[in-house]
Amino acid sequence: MKKEIIVFIIVLLTPLSSMVSGIDENGYDINDAAHFKYYENDENIIYWYEWWYANIKNEDKAIMIFFLTFGDLNNPLLSIAGSFAFFFKDNERISSFVSFPFIPYHLDYEKCNVSILNNRFYEEDGKFFVEHNGNDLKIYLEIYPQGERFGSFCNIDEWQWMSWYVASPYGYGKAKVWFDGNEYYFEGNAYHDHNWGIAKFYQLKWDWGEFSLGDMALIYGFVEGKNEMLGGVHIVKQDEHIFVPYGKSDMEILEWKRFVFEKKPEKIFISANDKNINLEMNLELYKFFYIIEELKLKPYLMGKASGRLKIYNEEIFFFDIKGFYEHR
């Protein structure tokens, strides 16, 4: 991979399951709960970030939702929280932002259960539910997670670090959307993860992508450390998670697409070679949406992946499976 085009995302270096027990006696996953209180006395807590992310997508519709917190949450003047939702149908993008100074919110430290004003992101009975209530856009999601959950922790430099936890590597989702007097309902592939850490967020550089392949998921993530590339490729099945670290996995950006103010990858080649695993995957931009449509800023990417996966003695060829991917 050429140095000038190397890009990166958060990935498994130390499995979170070795650090935290995970599912408690009530069936809740503490890894997906809030984490701020464990670090609130850190001298760099002003750079705290934590968010819960979910998406559901099919051939012509998709939803992305973020529940975000940034900064020293003990000081309302030095922190912010909000719920951000995006609904894509055909080539139309509709967005909704619920965030303002001193917005009331609640974080749960036992399970995924976040409330920001009248918006909720929570786990109950092994499923995830998301409720977003914007002024013009209202969304209700149900996510039925599948795949072995996994997570990672990595140090960026002396004090900056990142954690990532994938609570639904793949799965099935239902979505209801209310907008402009119309009601929409659709079903599709679902994904949910959770990120937190202390870092100068806008200096972070990463690449990430997630693609459902029947009863498994192909997820990649690479992040630029201080002096090295971190991350790798994850192959996830219902009761199995295989991680192929950078060095045995790689990504190469083959072509770029120029947007108004920035470039994003248009074609990517992902590879992973390890014991019992051989992956060759070509990823191509399928469609994009501007997060900030009015200014043509922050294009968010949906891609089509095709390739070959050999896992143990099984060889799988796949074509045009769709998923989201990011480049920062």
Residue 49: both structure tokens together: 């970030």
Q: What is the pLDDT along the chain (328 residues), one digit of tens a residue?
A: 333 222 223 333 334 433 444 666 666 899 999 999 999 999 999 999 999 999 999 988 999 999 999 999 999 999 999 999 999 988 788 999 999 999 999 999 999 999 999 999 999 999 999 999 999 999 999 999 999 999 998 888 889 999 999 999 999 999 999 999 999 999 999 999 999 999 998 778 899 999 999 999 999 999 987 778 889 999 999 999 999 999 999 999 999 999 888 899 999 999 999 999 999 999 999 988 887 766 667 888 999 999 999 999 999 999 999 999 999 8
Q: Which helix (H) or strand (E) holds 174?
A: strand 170-179
Could you give the 3-state DSSP secondary structure of residue 100? coil
Q: Which run of H or of E encompasses 69?
A: strand 61-71
Of 300, 235, 262, 231, nearest in space to 62 by CA: 300
Domain, as residue range, for 157:
3-327
pLDDT confidence of residue 78: 97
Residue 201 phi, psi dihedral angles, 5° rounding: -55, -45
Which pLDDT does position 3 carry in this prediction? 31
Number of structural domains (the chain) is: 1
Residue (of 197, 212, 239, 164) closest to 56 by Cα position: 212
Contact 6, 207 (CB under 8 A): no
pLDDT at site 157? 85
| CA dist., res. 6 & res. 270, Å (int) | 12
Cβ neighbours of residue 106 closer than 8 Å, sequence gap 6 or more: 113, 114, 115
Instruction: Please choose, from the candidates 2, 11, 7, the residue with its C-alpha nearest in 3D space to the C-alpha of residue 220.
Output: 11
CATH at 180: 2.40.370.10
Q: What is the pTM of this model?
A: 0.91
* Cα–Cα distances in angstroms (integers) from residue 240 to residues 25, 26, 146, 234, in the given order: 22, 22, 11, 10
Cα distances (angstroms) measured from residue 88 to each of 51, 93, 239, 242 = 21, 5, 32, 32
Q: Which residues make beta-bridge pairs with 265?
A: 256
Which pLDDT value is given to residue 9?
Answer: 31
